[in-house]
Chain A
Amino acid sequence: MDNVDTGIGRVKENLSLSLSRIRRWPEFGVILAFSTIFMVFSLLAPKFVTLRNLTGVFTIVSELGIITIGVAFLMIAGEFDLSVSSVYALSGFLFVTLANSFNSLLALIITLMAAACIGFLNGTITLRAGIPSFITTLGTMMFLRGIMLAVTGGRSVVYNGDLIVPTMLTRFIGRGFRPSHIWFLALALFFSLILTRTRYGNWVFATGGKKEVARAMGVNVNRVKVVNFMISSVMAGLAGCIVINRFGVANASFGMGMELEAIASAVIGGTFLMGGYGTIIGAFFGAFLMGMMRTGLVMVGAPAYWYQAFVGAILVIAATINIKLRRLEM
């Protein structure tokens, strides 16, 4: 009898242990939501689960997702970046303009460096002036967008440079896949590794969690923040270059509202709005969920306007579930 009892007891214990382990998995919520919505679309729209459609989703997701990775990485350190949408459009513009007269690889490098400078400015202004980054980057977002619209007068610029960067970033590599998909995956894995497996990642968590403690323990919190602002900007710049290479046209109105989509993706993925907690893999799935909604809703026959309404609802639900899951252990 005893043996049977302990046997059942052990099974029960193992079961509850593995359940709690799954629940503790920080990406649990977003992956559950992702799978559910994926299944719903698959059932409602027969053409949803086709390679052609899925790679199309992947293309949109990669562009949003690369921005989301940077935004999430910065949010974990306790700061916002609303200027990513303007940096995204500006980078595209800068890239096309430069690539039309020089080598495209050089244009890409200069563009990303310019994006890094904007990130550096965002960070430095935020820290030096002592204003919330929400305000600083709202300012840079409006400023950059305004300048772009004023300078271009709303006219588009067509890309007629060489094929080096288009091949690196977006030209089809077969079966509907593009290099941008690989960039997205690789960057997600890279930043996930940095965040969870390096000293710098530990400093990012501490800086966002409680910066006074981080400082007292010898972490240079200002440097962490500025570096993360730069990462966020460079990622937005890269995403901007990717989308321009896909369309072959740059316009000053590109990417409006994308900063909020990126923040929403990060929050759906489990990142805390106030910093200190989050995962890059979660942000990855958060961005995927957003992109999937966009095409999925159209394919099930809902008018395109429903997209925003659904995303809004999912954002609130996901944030609620995430906070409940975290409360179980924190």
Chain B
Amino acid sequence: MQQDLPLVRMVNINKRFGAVEALNNVSIEVRQKEVLGLLGDNGAGKSTLIKILAGVFPPDGGEIYFNEEPLKFSCPKEARVRGIETVHQELSLVDMMTISRNFFLGREPTKGIGSIALLDKKKMDKECRRVIAEIGIRVRSPNEYVSILSGGERQAISIGRAMYFGAKLLILDEPMNALSVKETRIVIGHIEKARELGTSIIFITHNVYHVYPVADRFVILDKGLKIGEFDKKEVEAKDIIEMIARGKV
């Protein structure tokens, strides 16, 4: 099929914020069923790049192809309709809402009673309970508040939600900051499982050791420029750290 074609190609992406050149002619591609580690120091342009891909804001110049179709997003909602799901470290779940209300936020199933559509709570709870069981989190019910969950459990639920809604490309933005060693390992398990299910993943971090165990390839950014692109077998983790620290290959 399209196995050899990349899932996403971003070509010569430019973005400025006032006087700051956040991205300068950056091109990346994400292949089918791969985990791409997007690395760089703070301010390298990683977040800007994926926010463009997720439709948060448009690029100033450049093209994006999704399955070789040109893409022009105006909002995150459209990106999600195409199957591009983002999991942010801080921006995925609302603490003061229940797990099931969070799970379906923005995509709540409804059933009509007369002319008004009410939330299909039964479906929300049932589906959410199933996903929670699949990812192996121990909570009494999907009606527990998110605030009682640990950082790892939140990431697991965010990833589970993205998969539930049929993500083709999963963007993980610093998913392991502030996680314990055990939880990091569990999240890596979820990422591997998502890849097996046929999803491509972009994993953004400035910590090589978070991404090295799962990544197939790496792209390294520095001050808005792409400074390197490697297959895993070509580099060691410590080489990448050196590149990030020195800002050149």
Indicate whether A260 reaches chain B with its CB closer than 8 angstroms. Answer: no
Indicate whether A142 reaches chain B with its CB closer than 8 angstroms. Answer: no
Q: Choose from B76, B108, B117, B118 the contact partner of A216 (Cβ within 8 Å).
A: B76
Residues of B within 8 A of A214 (CB): 94, 105-106
Query: A207 → chain B, closest Cβ, in Å?
Result: 9
Interface string of B85-101 (1 = CB under 8 A from A): 01010111111110001
Indicate whether B145 reaches chain A with its CB closer than 8 angstroms. Answer: yes
Indicate whether B20 reaches chain A with its CB closer than 8 angstroms. Answer: no
Q: Which interface class (under 10, 10 to 19, 20 to 34, 35 or more) fits A?
A: 20 to 34
- Kindly state the separation between the CA atoms of A148 and B93 in the bound complex, as whole angstroms: 45
Indicate whether B245 reaches chain A with its CB closer than 8 angstroms. Answer: no
Indicate whether A6 reaches chain B with its CB closer than 8 angstroms. Answer: no
Residues of A within 8 A of B107 (CB): 217-218
Q: Find out whether the CB atom of A213 lies under 8 angstroms from the CB atom of B91.
A: yes
Residues of A within 8 A of B133 (CB): none
Interface string of B134-145 (1 = CB under 8 A from A): 000000000011
| Most chain A beta-carbon contacts within 10 A, residue among B76, B77, B97, B121 | B97
A-B contact count (CB 8 A): 81
Indicate whether B150 reaches chain A with its CB closer than 8 angstroms. Answer: no
Residues of A within 8 A of B93 (CB): 213
By beta carbon, the residue of chain B nearest A193 is: B118
Stretch at the interface among A36-44, A117-125, A131-139, A197-205: A197-205
Q: Find out whether the CB atom of B145 lies under 8 angstroms from the CB atom of A330.
A: yes
By beta carbon, the residue of chain B nearest A217 is: B106
Indicate whether A276 reaches chain B with its CB closer than 8 angstroms. Answer: yes
- Kindly state the separation between the CA atoms of A214 and B121 in the bound complex, as whole angstroms: 19
How many interface residues does B have (CB within 8 Å)? 31
Q: Choose from B90, B94, B97, B148 the contact partner of A329 (Cβ within 8 Å).
A: B148
Q: Find out whether the CB atom of A205 lies under 8 angstroms from the CB atom of B86.
A: no
Query: B172 → chain A, closest Cβ, in Å?
Result: 14
With A216-B88, A216-B91, A218-B77: A330-B105 Cβ-Cβ less than 8 Å: no
- Kindly state the separation between the CA atoms of A82 and B244 in the bound complex, as whole angstroms: 52
With A217-B106, A329-B145, A330-B148: A202-B101 Cβ-Cβ less than 8 Å: yes
With A197-B119, A212-B91, A330-B145: A218-B75 Cβ-Cβ less than 8 Å: yes
Residues of B within 8 A of A217 (CB): 76, 105-107
- Kindly state the separation between the CA atoms of A209 and B116 in the bound complex, as whole angstroms: 25
Q: Find out whether the CB atom of A209 lies under 8 angstroms from the CB atom of B91.
A: no
- Kindly state the separation between the CA atoms of A278 and B144 in the bound complex, as whole angstroms: 16
Residues of A within 8 A of B145 (CB): 329-330
Q: Find out whether the CB atom of A219 lies under 8 angstroms from the CB atom of B105.
A: yes
Indicate whether B42 reaches chain A with its CB closer than 8 angstroms. Answer: no
Interface string of A126-166 (1 = CB under 8 A from B): 00000000000000000000000000000000000000000
Query: A146 → chain B, closest Cβ, in Å?
Result: 37
Residues of A within 8 A of B144 (CB): 329
- Kindly state the separation between the CA atoms of A329 and B96 in the bound complex, as whole angstroms: 10
Those of A206-253 within 8 Å (CB) of chain B:
206, 209-210, 212-219
- Kindly state the separation between the CA atoms of A317 and B93 in the bound complex, as whole angstroms: 31
With A216-B91, A216-B92, A330-B147: A198-B116 Cβ-Cβ less than 8 Å: yes
Indicate whether A277 reaches chain B with its CB closer than 8 angstroms. Answer: yes
Q: Find out whether the CB atom of A205 lies under 8 angstroms from the CB atom of B94.
A: yes
- Kindly state the separation between the CA atoms of A218 and B86 in the bound complex, as whole angstroms: 12
Q: Find out whether the CB atom of B94 lies under 8 angstroms from the CB atom of A276.
A: yes
- Kindly state the separation between the CA atoms of A201 and B92 in the bound complex, as whole angstroms: 19
Indicate whether B110 reaches chain A with its CB closer than 8 angstroms. Answer: yes
- Kindly state the separation between the CA atoms of A46 and B93 in the bound complex, as whole angstroms: 52
By beta carbon, the residue of chain A nearest B78 is: A218
Q: Choose from B75, B76, B90, B119 the contact partner of A202 (Cβ within 8 Å).
A: B119
Residues of B within 8 A of A277 (CB): 96
Query: B111 → chain A, closest Cβ, in Å?
Result: 11
- Kindly state the separation between the CA atoms of A272 and B145 in the bound complex, as whole angstroms: 15
Q: Find out whether the CB atom of A206 lies under 8 angstroms from the CB atom of B95.
A: no
With A198-B116, A214-B105: A276-B96 Cβ-Cβ less than 8 Å: yes
Those of A268-311 within 8 Å (CB) of chain B:
272, 276-277
Query: B82 → chain A, closest Cβ, in Å?
Result: 13
Indicate whether B80 reaches chain A with its CB closer than 8 angstroms. Answer: yes
- Kindly state the separation between the CA atoms of A214 and B101 in the bound complex, as whole angstroms: 12
By beta carbon, the residue of chain B nearest A205 is: B97
Residues of B within 8 A of A193 (CB): 118
Interface string of B57-90 (1 = CB under 8 A from A): 0000000000000000001110010000010101
Residues of A within 8 A of B108 (CB): 199, 202
Q: Choose from A202, A212, A215, A330 the contact partner of B96 (Cβ within 8 Å).
A: A330
Query: A214 → chain B, closest Cβ, in Å?
Result: 7
- Kindly state the separation between the CA atoms of A210 and B93 in the bound complex, as whole angstroms: 8
With A198-B116, A202-B108, A329-B145: A216-B96 Cβ-Cβ less than 8 Å: no
* Beyond known contacts A218-B77, A276-B97: 5 more, CB 8 A cutoff: A197-B119, A198-B118, A198-B119, A217-B76, A219-B106
19 A/B residue pairs, CB under 8 Å, sorted by A: A198-B110, A203-B105, A206-B97, A206-B101, A206-B105, A209-B94, A215-B76, A216-B56, A216-B92, A217-B106, A218-B106, A218-B107, A219-B105, A219-B106, A272-B96, A277-B96, A329-B144, A329-B145, A330-B148
